[in-house]
Amino acid sequence: MARILVTGSAEGLGQLAARRLVEAGHEVVLHGRNRDRARDAMDAVPGGKAALAGDLASIQETRALAEQANAIGPFQAVIHNAGVFGPTAARRETVDGLDDVFVINTLAPYLLTALIQGPQRLIYITSGLHFGGHADLEDVPWRRKRWNGSQAYADSKLFVVVLAFAVARLWPNVVSNAVDPGWVPTRMGGRSARGDLEQGAQTQVWLAVSDESGALVSGRYLYHKQPQEAHTAASDIGVQNGFLKACEELTGVTLTSAAEKD
């Protein structure tokens, strides 16, 4: 039996992944952005061990969420599932004065990765739209650029892959991968989505607990359990280091290498 944390598990792919992990006999800790959503997650996933609350749009609340996770952990795996879709008419600003698409989709996984202690497997949910992302290290959080919600979303999902690949490089004893679940009919994906919801959750469940050799390879971008070629910027060490530096400057939290930890 493994213990797994799934962020954003009150609905959609996070909820389904959590349910399948519980059904397989694993101990699953859920997450919602506030107490009401955490209760929703517990109601939707019978057998869930607990549900943590924390708004990933807030740097302070994300840090507090990591503290909660460390208090109830350690975890074998963390599935960084929570996310928001970008194409909106106006930029939505967080309490920290940042674009919420970047903060929730990208900065929060960075913070949780840096602060949650000891997971052996990390799974980051991205999108095929990351191929349209720009690895703009001059303005990672969209502070100066003219707002474009679709581009901001694509950028955020590209930087999620950058994060997954950077962690795979810096932490060789941790299995870190990015997963494209496909366009599936969740609230984010919409009713017209053509993908299969079960298949959309299958890869992250497999990566979290399977002992199959394919689930134990790090530094990949996967779609339906199959490795795919990712955006070339994701493997660029200069881009990885620039992204990590930008996140460190925004949060005051450093994602240290395995050598620095030792």
Q: What is the pLDDT of residue 260?
A: 65
Q: What is the pLDDT of residue 215?
A: 97
Please give the Cα distance from 74 to 96 (Å, whole number).
Answer: 29
Q: What is the pLDDT of residue 91?
A: 86
Q: What is the pLDDT of residue 258?
A: 60
9 backbone dihedrals φ, ψ, rounded to 5°: -105, 20
Q: What is the pLDDT of residue 257?
A: 76
* CA 256 to chain centroid: 18
Please give the Cα distance from 96 to 60 (Å, whole number).
Answer: 9
148 backbone dihedrals φ, ψ, rounded to 5°: -145, 105
Give CA torsion, residues 147, 79, 135, 149, to 10 deg.
Answer: -10
User: What are the per-10-residue average pLDDT scores of the chain (262 residues)?
Assistant: 94 93 97 96 95 98 98 96 80 93 97 97 96 95 91 96 98 97 60 66 96 97 96 98 98 83 55
Instruction: Output the CA–CA distances (angstroms, integers) from residue 262 to 90, 154, 244, 248, 252, in the order listed.
Output: 45, 35, 20, 20, 21
DSSP state of 153: H
Cβ density class 122-156: b for 16+ within 10 Å, e for less = bbbbbbebbeebebbeeebbbeebeeebebbbbbb
End-to-end CA distance of the chain, in Å? 28
Q: What is the pLDDT of residue 261?
A: 59
Q: What is the pLDDT of residue 1?
A: 80
Q: What is the pLDDT of residue 85?
A: 83
- Neighbouring residues of 229: CB distance < 8 A, sequence distance ≥ 6: 221
Q: For the chain, which domains are there?
A: 3-261 (3.40.50.720)
Q: Any idea which residues carry the catalytic annotation?
A: 153, 157
Please give the Cα distance from 187 to 13 (Å, whole number).
Answer: 10
Helix (H) or strand (E) holding 77: strand 77-80
